Copies of this chain bind each other. A is one copy, B any other.
Amino acid sequence: MSDIEIARAAKLRPIEDIARQLAIPADLLFPYGRFVAKVDTGFLAREDRADGNLVLVTAINPTPAGEGKTTTTVGLGDALNLIGEPTVMCLREPSLGPCFGLKGGAAGGGYAQVVPMEQINLHFTGDFHAITSAHNLLAAMIDNHVYWGNEKDIDTRRITWRRVIDMNDRSLRWIVGGLGGAANGFPREDGFDITVASEVMAAFCLARNLADLEARLGRIIVAYDRDRQAITAKDLQAEGAMAVLLKDALMPNLVQTLEGNPAFVHGGPFANIAHGCNSVVATQAALKLSRFVVTEAGFGADLGAEKFFDIKCRKSGLAPKACVIVATIRALKSHGGVAKEALNTENLAALEAGMANLRRHIENVRRFGVPPIVAINHFAADTEAEIAFVQRYCQEQLDVEAVLCRHWALGGAGAVDLARAVKRLVDVGEAKFELLYPDEMPLEEKIRTIARSIYGASDVAFDGKAAKRLHELTSEGFGHLPICMAKTQYSFAADPSLRGAPKDHVVPVRDIRLAAGAEFVVAICGDVMTMPGLPRHPAAERIRINADGLIDGLF
């Protein structure tokens, strides 16, 4: 059966039951339909509850072969529940726009999915629409300020706040607005990013509560004046109305897995120019509500896990107890140099070569004081010899357990071994989470530390513009912020073709962007696409409601 057929065949529990299982008071539950609800989690901050155990799911560098990070997050969560450990999963919300480009949802797959799949992948509870509205309100207020006299002397050439839309629409990437005469304002260059690239999205996901979110929104820098002084959202008195637009959205969305276990699906920032994790609010609430929390981070561990640790955990105080690194036999062979067409053929030599990628991710995770474990996400073509090789190699060479998982085919039952292993690892209690670099380290040095320690680079090459900007940011008082690396996800290096574990490469930093509201400095190491386009024949051409009232073509 396809993912969508499995999801449709599922018998869902009323969301009130899921909430009751978590002992969420009924009056703090706000249903959106019968199987989705927002939870007012404010009560948890006022109670003196112990936190559960946070487990991060990350992966080797992604390949065309597929890894299955979200399915493993769901499978592990279901399995922990199966073995009697109450567990909540925390996932990102899918973006609406890309659904109409390439077919495919983002709610897991096989028998490891969160449901209701269609609602989650379409408008869901409207969080992204709220973020779009808040972002564009700020944009409108900037141009409106200029229109009505420009009291703050905004340099219209230096307005850095673009607009957003949750749609793949390349023709909006670069526009000139304000045309058509004096009544429409002053013409200027502008453009649209996709909503997940909005700094509002990143701030939303890092905020501890609504007051913190409002403060972060106020600190967003939207433009510079003619004296090159920063203009913030607060200078335009926009942050209050933006927070009002985001008030309901900031409550985490409760859904369930196919096996009826609770999951928060909340927030979804880009994993390149932002940190790529679900909201802090959801993760913190989940920790108060259950013994285990399984969550994921975007891309491979070099980007996703590093940002999870150094950005998300830094400010929120989250401290993971274990880290699952997802790998597949196919992907490891791909890192070992095998072409996509040959991935279904047993190839132990390539597998061994590909282990270099996994090895470095394991070493990296250990650098943060978090004990790793490897999940081998099973594919049909995997041979017994290949699986045995990876398990033995991990045990003998890397001192890490590698557990075979079949959650895609079997649901939680297919990940019970992984669940038991994760629980053992957590129970041993060897986690001692630490950040890779302290706040006080200079920005350039932070970037160099990430490149050397995590990417295996020999050094970083800063473009003149980037180096200058880092100095400016330091002198403007932003030197204490963590770094958000925007690098290709396909390699440890900035060159996506370098599979495996490239060494002694140089990471080029071409540009620097400040996210003063989200509270990080983005180091751009390559092309970054913040507004996708639609393909020649977008999925939208085939999406429709069929004769049975069901949606065809979306997945």
Residues of A within 8 A of B (CB): 30-34, 38, 96, 100, 119, 122-123, 126, 129-130, 132-133, 136-137, 139-141, 143-144, 147-149, 163, 165-180, 183-186, 189-191, 210, 214, 236-241, 243-245, 247-248, 533-534, 536, 538-545, 551, 553-554
Contact = CB atoms under 8 A, between A and B. Distances in A.
B167 A178 contact: no
A140 B534 contact: yes
A286 B105 CA distance: 36
In the complex, the count of this chain's copies comes to: 2
Given A31-B32, A240-B543, A544-B243, A140 B169 contact: yes
Given A175-B175, A184-B174, A540-B141, A210 B545 contact: yes
B540 A238 contact: yes
A247 B168 CA distance: 21
B169 A143 contact: yes
Nearest to A186: B171
Nearest to A531: B184
A431 B170 CA distance: 54
Instruction: Determine which residue in A137, A180, A238, A539 has the highest number of CB atoms from chain B within 10 A of its CB, and name it.
Output: A137
Nearest to A529: B183
Closest A-B pairs by Cβ, 10 of them: A240-B544, A174-B180, A129-B129, A241-B540, A237-B541, A241-B543, A143-B171, A140-B169, A174-B179, A126-B126
Contact of A177 (B171, B541, B551): B171
A141 B148 CA distance: 35
Contacts of A173: 179-180, 184
A165 B136 contact: yes
A121 B15 CA distance: 26
Instruction: Determine which residue in A167, A190, A542 has the highest number of CB atoms from chain B within 10 A of its CB, and name it.
Output: A167
Given A100-B241, A177-B175, A170 B141 contact: no
Contact of A244 (B30, B122, B165, B533): B122
Given A100-B137, A171-B178, A241-B540, 4 more contacts: A174-B180, A175-B176, A175-B179, A240-B540
Nearest to A552: B240
A86 to B, nearest CB: 26
Instruction: Determine which residue in A132, A163, A189, A244 has the highest number of CB atoms from chain B within 10 A of its CB, and name it.
Output: A244
A133 B99 CA distance: 12
A31 to B, nearest CB: 5
Contact of A169 (B136, B170, B180): B136
A266 B247 CA distance: 23
What does DSSP make chain A's interface, helix, strand, loop or mixed? mixed
Contacts of A534: 140-141, 144
A179 B174 CA distance: 5
Contacts of A179: 173-176, 189
B123 A129 contact: yes
A123 B143 CA distance: 23
A145 to B, nearest CB: 9
A554 B244 contact: yes
B32 A543 contact: no
A244 B121 CA distance: 12
A165 B166 CA distance: 11
A447 to B, nearest CB: 28
19 contacts: A96-B133, A100-B137, A100-B241, A123-B130, A126-B126, A144-B534, A170-B185, A171-B177, A171-B184, A172-B177, A173-B179, A175-B175, A175-B177, A214-B545, A238-B541, A240-B553, A241-B540, A243-B545, A244-B554
Contacts of A184: 170-171, 173-174
A123 to B, nearest CB: 5
Contacts of A136: 165, 167, 169
Contacts of A33: 30-32, 38
B133 A167 contact: yes
A173 B178 CA distance: 7
A268 to B, nearest CB: 16
Contacts of A148: 536
Contacts of A166: 133
Contacts of A190: 171, 175
B545 A122 contact: no
A248 B540 contact: no
A119 B34 CA distance: 19
B244 A543 contact: yes
A388 B409 CA distance: 80
A530 to B, nearest CB: 12
A35 to B, nearest CB: 10
A470 to B, nearest CB: 26
Contacts of A169: 136, 139-140, 143
Contact of A129 (B126, B539, B551): B126
B170 A183 contact: yes
Contacts of A536: 148-149
Contacts of A191: 180
